[in-house]
Chains A and B, each alone.
Chain A
Amino acid sequence: MPKEQANWSPYDNNGGSCVAVAGADYCVIAADTRMSTGYNILTRDYSKICKLADKCVMASSGFQADVKALQKHLAARHLIYQHQHNKQMSCPAMAQLLSNTLYYKRFFPYYSFNVLGGLDNEGKGCVFTYDAVGSYEKVGYSSQGSGSTLIMPFLDNQLKSPSPLLLPAQDAVTPLAEAEAIDLVKTVFALASERDIYTGDKLEIVVINADGIRREYMDLRKD
């Protein structure tokens, strides 16, 4: 008698792509606003970006209910940190917390593919990229989600990241100006929307720099 399999899965993939690019004194984080399931679009106006701290923003794609739970968890932990330390969490500190939080559920993972972007304690841009169980790395730029296979090679080509094996370690932060980086991100999403069915509708861009955080929107293909 063959073993009966469960027909119900606790996971679903709600699609979407996220990108983050770090600069000398800014960081750009972007994600599309489409939420899908299977071949359906559930809504065209859902934000995947969450501000975790003053200079730290996370974009996540994957299973939306897990993403929401993860965002709430980190926001709560940040609040406790602020009560205990009387200051905001720095981006590298939040990066470590996110990694630990994800690994905590190693055997029933958060189906969430994250990029964390912000400014470190010196005001330099930093981007951290994650997998679903918390493995993370500080990089100059990254993309996650359904469109990442289309976006990442393009970013590699345009931003030419130095090899992580080099000694002394070279900085991966891009020399591009803020406006150029934003333009690059817009191009990259237009690119992904052409071929990835789960990416499209609208693009939400968050820019963090010394002046603070600002938000921009751009329309993408709706098909």
Chain B
Amino acid sequence: MKPFGKHSLLGASGEISDFQEILHYLDELILYDNMWDDGNSLGPKEVHNYLTRVMYNRRNKFNPLWNSLVLGGVKNGNKYLGTVSMIGVNFEDNHVATGFGNHLARPILRQEWHENLSFEDGVKLLEKCMHVLLYRDRSAVNKLQIAKITKEGVTIHQPYSLKTYWEVSAFENPAQGAIGSW
């Protein structure tokens, strides 16, 4: 995840080197935006559009940036959350996810998201999703980071881990019934 500009945050999954290149493009974009020095600044919606164009044009050249991007922000009191895929498919919604999150987390969010979620409740909801992903996605690790964006700005909290429970009796001594070689 990386904050950029005054209003927004970009998160990505996939190829990290391609994500770093996108951050490089964004640095340049924000720089030129600041150089205008006209009191206006690029909001999350504008940057989302820019990133969609970048991803789409790369896929047109058959050389995609292998990322799924999630873009969130608050500008002038309006909150925004959107996503772009590596082939340029983009949309905004109240909740988005990448990879396995689409299969495991979106259904939970569809059921339990509502307009008046407090920050604490939002974090609890996300932790619930991350729990499911930790247990069921073999490529997940127990280390996550929360970022909060409000009209005051962006704060990224320190990484932390979730409490998990593995003492399920079925996992105890799994080779008991059929002793293998290891």
Report A's interface with B, CB cutoff 8 A.
8, 10-12, 14, 35, 37, 40-43, 45-46, 63-65, 68-69, 108
Residues from chain A with Cβ under 8 Å of B102 in the complex? 40, 42
Report yes or no: B59 in contact with A65, Cβ–Cβ below 8 A. yes
B89 at the interface (CB under 8 A from A): yes
Report yes or no: B103 in contact with A68, Cβ–Cβ below 8 A. no
19 residue pairs bridging A and B, Cβ less than 8 Å apart: A8-B64, A10-B60, A10-B62, A10-B64, A10-B87, A12-B89, A14-B89, A37-B89, A40-B102, A42-B91, A42-B93, A42-B102, A43-B91, A43-B92, A43-B93, A64-B90, A68-B52, A68-B56, A68-B90
Report yes or no: B59 in contact with A10, Cβ–Cβ below 8 A. yes
CA distance in complex: A93, B102 (Å): 42
Report yes or no: A65 in contact with B89, Cβ–Cβ below 8 A. yes
In the complex, chain B residues 61-115 whose Cβ is within 8 Å of any chain A Cβ: 62, 64, 87-93, 102-103, 106
Residues from chain B with Cβ under 8 Å of A41 in the complex? 106
CB distance from B112 to the nearest CB of A (A): 16
Assign chain B's interface to a size class: 10 to 19
A65 contact from B87, B103, B106, Cβ within 8 A:
B87
CA distance in complex: A46, B82 (Å): 12
CB distance from B87 to the nearest CB of A (A): 6
Q: Nearest residue in A to B66 (C-beta to C-beta)?
A: A8
Residues from chain A with Cβ under 8 Å of B93 in the complex? 42-43, 45
Q: Nearest residue in B to A42 (C-beta to C-beta)?
A: B91
Residues from chain A with Cβ under 8 Å of B60 in the complex? 10, 108
CB distance from A212 to the nearest CB of B (A): 27
CA distance in complex: A12, B86 (Å): 11
Q: Nearest residue in A to B88 (C-beta to C-beta)?
A: A65
CA distance in complex: A11, B106 (Å): 23
CA distance in complex: A53, B59 (Å): 29
CB distance from A102 to the nearest CB of B (A): 15
Q: Nearest residue in A to B64 (C-beta to C-beta)?
A: A8
Residues from chain A with Cβ under 8 Å of B103 in the complex? 40
CA distance in complex: A194, B93 (Å): 25
Evaluate whether A35 and B56 lie within 8 angstroms (CB atoms) in the complex, with A40-B102, A40-B103 already known.
no
Report yes or no: B62 in contact with A64, Cβ–Cβ below 8 A. no
CA distance in complex: A40, B93 (Å): 15
Report yes or no: A11 in contact with B90, Cβ–Cβ below 8 A. no
4 extra interchain contacts, Cβ-Cβ under 8 A, other than A10-B64, A42-B102, A69-B88?
A: A11-B87, A12-B89, A40-B106, A65-B56
Report yes or no: A69 in contact with B89, Cβ–Cβ below 8 A. no
Q: Nearest residue in B to A38 (C-beta to C-beta)?
A: B102
CA distance in complex: A10, B89 (Å): 11
CA distance in complex: A151, B169 (Å): 54
Residues from chain A with Cβ under 8 Å of B52 in the complex? 65, 68
Q: Nearest residue in B to A67 (C-beta to C-beta)?
A: B89
Residues from chain B with Cβ under 8 Å of A46 in the complex? 91
Q: Nearest residue in B to A45 (C-beta to C-beta)?
A: B93
CB distance from A42 to the nearest CB of B (A): 6
CA distance in complex: A142, B89 (Å): 26
Report yes or no: A12 in contact with B87, Cβ–Cβ below 8 A. yes
